[in-house]
Structure 1
């Protein structure tokens, strides 16, 4: 959408001299806005309420509470039916993946008594129920996998073969967590490399979809689209050990991310979903 002078004049940032569209992901429109002395990062979502960005704002604050670098929400509101979120602007540069690994480990060392985040969010295809749950297996199956598979089925991206392998995966997942305890860790929730940036030589985690969950949920996402180096995993491991069977468990969580992409972007992700399910 085009940002008009009339719309921009209603923002709490005054005397805006410049507004430029920038790459900001698939969900929201993103802009850099500038005054004579300062730059800001702004996300907007048309036809949305003032509460549209509440989950992201809460997540950014929770990540900051954990002592991990992230963006700072400055202003939030709605103008003419379009929700906006204004954050600080960071000039990006390069940094160390080892530092990134230590930051993610620090995030995962921040714990809660339960799983979830106490709210709910909605994307184009499903509602994500983040209400608190004592059981990780129940949270992941009932509040993540089942709504996602229901969406895939409704959209015509599901079939009997996928259903059969999916049920085997869920049975294996349930059996494992009947015998293994999980500590609820603060998870970014969408930890692909596009949601990492470096500024002032330090890593920052951006665009979160936070929950308290199994930290392996985040680690799985780092393996889906690449970008994370061996230095990242070595540094993470030094701060927060994981066992030798981690690789066998990650497919449970890779499925969630790839099936979400199947729902959002169609059958071009079907082969990747089928490859994951073929392990079960």
Structure 2
């Protein structure tokens, strides 16, 4: 969408001198806003209500509550038919992956007594139900996997072979978590390297899809698209150790991220989904 002078004048930020489009991901329009005093980062989602960014705002505040670096939500609302979110601007540079590992471990040390986040959020293909659940297996299967697979089926990206392997995976997952207790950890929920920034050498986690869940859910996502080094995992392990069988469990969660990309971007992700399912 085009940010007109009239639209811009309704923002809670005054004396705007610059409002320019920047690279900001696939989901939202992104802008840099400059005033004489300050620089801001703004996301805009056309054809959406003011509540569109509520889940992200809550996630950012919860990450900050864990003592982890993130962006600060300053203003959000709706102008005409577009939702907006204004955050602080970060000048980016490079930093230590070990510091990043320690920050993610710190995030995962914030615990809850239930799984979920007590809300719901909508993306382009499905509604994510984050209502609280006492069971991680029930939450993950019924509030994550089943709606996702239903979307893939509706969009024509599902077949009998995928269904057969998927059912085997779900059975294995359910059996494992019927015997193993999980402590709900605050998870970023979309922890790929594109959602990491470094500013003045310090790591920041941005663009969360936060839930309280199995911390391995986040760790699996770090392995899907790369970017996280051995230093990251060593530093994480020193702060919050994981067992030697972790690698065998990650495909349960890799499937979620890859199937979501299948729903969002089509059959170009089909082979990756099939590769994960082939383990079951």
TM-score normalized by the length of structure 1: 1.00
Q: Secondary structure of 1:53's partner? A: helix
Distance 1:23 1:167 in 2: 39
Q: Paired residue for 1:92?
A: 92
- Deviations 1:99-129 (CA, angstroms, capped at 9, x unpaired): 0000000000000000000000010100100
Q: Paired residue for 1:203?
A: 203
Distance 1:231 1:49 in 2: 42
Distance 2:159 2:272 in 1: 15
Distance 1:23 1:191 in 2: 18
Q: Paired residue for 1:242?
A: 242
Q: Secondary structure of 1:272's partner? A: helix
Distance 1:140 1:65 in 2: 24
- Deviations 1:47-91 (CA, angstroms, capped at 9, x unpaired): 111111000000000000000000000001111111000000000
**CA displacement at 1:260 relative to structure 2:** 0.1
Q: Following TM superposition, where does structure 1 have runs of at least 4 consecutive aligned residues deviating by more than 4 angstroms? A: none
**CA displacement at 1:20 relative to structure 2:** 1.1
**CA displacement at 1:37 relative to structure 2:** 2.0
In the TM superposition, 1:2-41 aligns within 5 A as 2-41=2-41
TM-score normalized by the length of structure 2: 1.00
In the TM superposition, 1:207-226 aligns within 5 A as 207-226=207-226
Q: Secondary structure of 2:262's partner? A: helix
Q: Paired residue for 2:63?
A: 63
Unaligned stretches of 5+ residues in structure 1: none
The reply on whether 1:54 has 2:54 as its aligned counterpart is: yes
- Deviations 1:1-42 (CA, angstroms, capped at 9, x unpaired): 111111111100001000111111111100000011210000
Q: Paired residue for 1:151?
A: 151
Distance 1:5 1:87 in 2: 20
Q: Paired residue for 2:176?
A: 176
Q: Paired residue for 2:131?
A: 131
Q: Secondary structure of 2:157's partner? A: coil
